Amino acid sequence: MVPYPSRALHAFKVGRPLLDEGQGALRLVLSRERQRLGIPLEIQPGQQIGICAHIDGHLGQHHRHRALGLDLAGHFQGGLQHSAVIYHLFNQADALGLLGGKVEQPGSGDLIRDMGRIKDLWFSIENRNKMNVSLNLKDPKGKELLWQLIEDADVLIENFRPGVFTKLGFTWEEIHKRNPRLIYNAVSGYGRTGPYSSKPGFDRMGLAMGGFLEVTGYPDTPPCKPGLSVSDFYTAMFGCIAVMFALYDRDVNGSGEGQMIDSTLCESALRIQESIIAEYSIDGAIRTRIGNGTTVTVPAGHFKTSDGKYLAVSVAGDKLYRVCMEKIGRPDLLADPRYQTPSDRSIHHEEINAEFGKWAAAHTISECLAILGDSIPNGKIYNVADIVADPHYAFREDIVEMDTEQFGKIKVQNVAPKMLGTPGQIRWLGGKVGRFNEEVYGGLLGLSDQELQDLQDSGVI
């Protein structure tokens, strides 16, 4: 049995195949006020648990703010949107105190289980601390179970294509009617309104329309997608911040009301475009790809060393430029009248980067790091082997080893950021489909053993 606190924030995430439009993911944070605080309890089959209606502090505080997360989306692409956003969004909360949950389609499970080089591995990482249960939202009984969760929820986050969740009967109007305090974050590629609202969206689409890809890569090559899901992660972070603000408005400002949040992949990518929009509005300049350098810090880029490694460098301002040129033995680049100010160096960034690149190519990565030292921002570009072996990561316990049923002991990223007062932890990695059906449906919703068996036999769970 999983111990529950008597006062806790309970979070549920949902994702599963839905209708013909695709699949989805949503997340609920359940709550019900309890008179007694801070006393852990064991959930037994058929027993109701108390859940608080607000948050006193950080979710990671031991016992007092532990929460249950439940993911009710069976397939990875939510309504042809990207439910990776939901995974990332609530990985933060799960690691910092939630007892996370994942609800999948009975039997087949989530599509992410079949993604990647090793079956089930990505699922295991992105669903850590989540209690794996199964639920079929095509079945009326499955919908009713979801409504029971929503009616006690603080936060609901879903990742269906706009309109799919509504067709199932879960409209904002009905949700708000049943639970006026609930905060509902709808995540999609392009938003719930506008001419593109019905288009399917994935991480790459958000980066494309948000302008991110246009400035990523080299001038003579196609736009380059980053190696990770950048738009998904930023949408998750912005969404998490919005949810926290909404909770603050409801509980601290005292509005007492929930609200709806419309999060999109393309707008998250758009927001991080620095001054690109303003520059265009002033003189019509269209910023595009310039490779690994920038026009803000010079020299800057990724420079190949004599032993085939890559050195990352970013030098800003007159002081650091002077130190850098002295370190690499190039006083002539200090005296050159073309390079006297940051604006001058921005204009001539390609020339300066080329000269720095010649210096790096004549030295090994270890020599470069030793010569540059700690005076200017520089470092080796790490691969995963470098990360796992690095003493700084080891000292800060950023990589931890976890036991799994399927893979044995594996190494994974630890909780970030580190909070001294309420540190989080990884309790388990994502498990098999329906692993926690008894704890969630029996312990949380109070269903009997016979009711659970009937739901399983009928394909509801």
- The residues assigned a catalytic role are 232
For 289, the token pair is: 């790809």
**DSSP letter at 161?**
P
What's the longest Cα–Cα distance across the chain? Answer: 84
Omega cis (within 30) before 423: no
| Distance between CA atoms of residues 442 and 100, nearest Å | 16
**How many CB atoms within 10 Å of residue 184?**
25
Give helix then strand counts, H and E, for the chain.
Answer: 18, 15
14, 187 Cβ separation under 8 angstroms:
no
Amino acid at 144: E
Q: Name 341's Cβ contacts closer than 8 Å, sequence gap at least 6.
A: 318
Closest CA to 247 of 59, 412, 409: 59
Neighbours of 112 (CB within 10 A): 28
